[in-house]
Structure 1
Amino acid sequence: MAGLKETPRQKMIGMMYLVLTALLALQVSDALLQKFVLLNNSLETANQSAAEKNKGTIQGIDSKIKELPNPGAYADISRKAAEVHKIAEAVVSQIEEAKAKVIESGGGIDPETGQIKNPKEEEKVYQLMVGAGKKGIAYQLASSMEDYVTKLSAIADKGTVFPALALGAKDDPIASRDANQRNKDFAELNFAQTPVPAALATLSQKQAEVRRYESEVLGQLAAKVGAKEVKFDKVFAQVSANANTVVAGMDYEAEVFIAATSSGFTPRMSLNGSALPVKDGRGQIKFKTAGGEYDKNGLARKSYTASVSYMSPTGPKTESITKEYFVLKPTYNIETATLPALYLGCANRLSVVSPGLGALWNPSFSADGGETIAGERGKVTIVPSAATVTLNVTNGGTLLGKETFRVRRVPRPEVKIYGNGGEIDERRGASATGLRSIEARALADESFKSTNPEDAQFRVSEIYVALARGTKKVGDVTGSGSVNVSSLASQAQAGDRYFIEVKGVQRRNFKGAVENIPYTMSKVLPLN
């Protein structure tokens, strides 16, 4: 946003107002009243000068438009200048009428001395400006000044900020610090316990602010038709490099030069015909680069045209420059222990890296035929749900590529039978009275376990053991994974046999979910 630029005269007026505010807090003496009279006279003289200057600016705008090749195209500028002066003049006149009534409240002007008859009058000033029930004319003035700022802002250049003219104590930098003042509104702050000369000086200061705002907008309009001299008051150093990215061993080339902009006007700037935002006189170029037609080195040659349009003393001018740049084709590598295939329903963890993009590498992922779970930058977990899964790699909103993977089913585990903690050998058999426990263990495929350890968690869900003698069943037990066969061992004899059957296997995946795997296996263990 742009603030208002103050001339030395305007700064002097502002300083006078600060002095006025400070003097109001002091006990008023005849000497101080005389100072207020002098202050008001100075403000009125400055206001008259500002009014004449603003009229001259309007005449300059109209004269310059007549000199331009197509005057009709700038009729709106002339209309706006007249409108600015009209609304400013209305507020100044309203304040001038208030000043006349303030003088009347002090008994008017003494024809012999030319001075206010009763300059110390405060009560009548209060009744006039604040009034009973807060219906004094100061409130009307405050409303008019707020309306003036609103209308002026609609005409001024975008980003121009006009401070409020009718500040209450809470918004005043001095009064807000005073516990006795901070709750007063504009009228009470400026006209309560205020003698006639001080009230007049306050009103004259408001007229000065109105004229200052008017001058600011007229200056902006004058710049649009070249009626205002352009002063380049913002100077800065600039570096223009041939390339922002170079390979080690290559020369880095750039030019350093002085550039300047003007705070007095805002040129119109565009990129390929579209308007650009302008900050401190400099257009802000930002756009998403697009690839395509890459050469063998992975570079795509691109260009854009930037234009600057402004009003020169000889008429409208537009300067254009075409800038060439190159787009590097983004590449990436996928690192995973599970390539070239992934496992169905499992956490297949991938790392996708792009050395060429460096700090700009911040990819996002989606998948067709599966679910993606984002991790740290470049890390992704794919959970396939189909025979093939396609990973979509996107960076900065641009799709870089698609990678398709084959999907394998989870390999079936190998189930082994253990007795008393050791693996059972069916050929050798086991002791009829010594075997006390039988356990079935589901062991994951070693290759699958090494790549997907969180999904390689198997267990036998049900095991059945029966003691057989000849063609008869002596007894049986059932358990989950392992069973205690002590009750069967107490009845077992040499020559008997155990019939062992695995009826189910379960797998717990990386999410903690358990699935049943159809699995049956049986063994016969002779007892001796």
Structure 2
Amino acid sequence: MAGGKQTPRQKMINLMYLVFIAMMALNMSKEVLTAFGNINEKLAESNSSVAERNSAAMAGLVAKAEEQPAKYKPLQEKASKIHEMTTEFTAYLEEMKSMVLEGVDDPQNYEAMDKSSPLDEYFFQSGKASNKGQEFLNKVESYREGVASLIEDNYPQIAAEVRREFSTDPVKDSEGVKKPWLAYNFESFPMIASITKFTQMQGDARGAENDILSVMLSGQLQSEVSLTNYEAIVISDKTAFFNGENYKGKVVLGRVDKTLQFDKVIINGNEIQSTEAGQVKLDFPAGNVGQQKITGELQFKEGDSIISIPVNNSYSVIPKPNSAVISADKMNVVYRGVQNPMTISIPGVGNVSANAPGLRSVGGPNYVMDVTTLQAREVTINVSGELPGGEKVGDSKTFRVKDIPRPVGTVRGEDGTVRMQRNTLEIATIGATLPDFDFDLNLRVTGFKFKVPGQPTVQVRGQKLDDRAVAALRRAGRGESVQIFDVEAQLANNASYKLKQVSPVFVELTN
């Protein structure tokens, strides 16, 4: 929508306007009417493709809002309002097209759609806009101002573009005479031309929604990668220490960046030099029995500023073991569909017994937990043992049970929007991955849908484009974006587990 290089769809719309001008000067021919019909079909196909992308983006935003409501819920609510307004407006335009086509025996016979009277009588009365014509203007203005007012504080450039695209101000014709917008665009035009104009307006509305969703998501992603959003996490080698032991653990950021180098690390008043791969290694006396604190800060440069992340945590020093220590190797969560490794022990106790649904021992303190068939959202592990003096000790711990996160589609190992040459895409492997997931899972793609703008969606079986998909790809223009969606993926070692829907991937053709 915004300025810059014109898309093929916009070029086609400009061509349509040239035909409009030619119509005013020439006697209408059957070939021109057919050309309008063909343009309308192409616009409708393009609109369908954009609508699919918008729906996929909305679905991804809804999923993000469910997983991280504080971060994504405001965006999702605003996007939903825009989606609702766009859906209502495009549906109204579809009703207008149906109204114009009432009484037409064959909607594919464009040569017969040369009359202007049906819409002229509907939109105009005594040389002015009729009540129905004014209702149409009100719909356009309501959509324009509704969308623009919702986004103008955060995205003023797109808001201005929406107001320009759906302006209903008077227009000067080729002779310099100012005409009302409704008359300039619809009065005395053949039926098929007006239908094409309605289809173009539907495309403009869906294009506006697509631009807004893209800017919303890209802005949020830019915010997420800012280091100011990270928090320091203290990870102890174990949760309790005996009197006289050294405390051992490490301090990391919420998302470890191995390229990150701290400028200064201060823990408990002392500057720490032992840092590597975005982590701070800790090794100091644990202290006296009781609760001990770890405080300090991590400092690093971001641009011209010094960013400081506070460190604030605590640990317990105990005189003897009196509770079980249960440490999930993959954080305090167990996942369905995978073998969750667990380390279960009681300090000072040799023989420990642990039980829970799906839990089995694999030797010593090592256990594996499979909760694939467990419907509950939490699972509790009960642990018991006997101290050397015969005293019985026991404890339990509850873990959250979660599904494997939503995978993302990839082309040649890249996700999101990928720039690629056409011949590279023809032989590229379509895959799926789980970014930042704690388990290294092998996902196998068995099929996907392939969409080139203006062409039917191709269902592909396997991991590469088949002949039909390659043929569709070769008809795509340079700079166009093709979509790979509805990717069918499964766990290579657990095909019975049903993964969440894979996010789509877009490929921008560079040649």
TM-score range, shorter chain: 0.3 to 0.5
Higher relative contact order (CA 8 A, sep 6+): 2
**Greater helix proportion:** 2
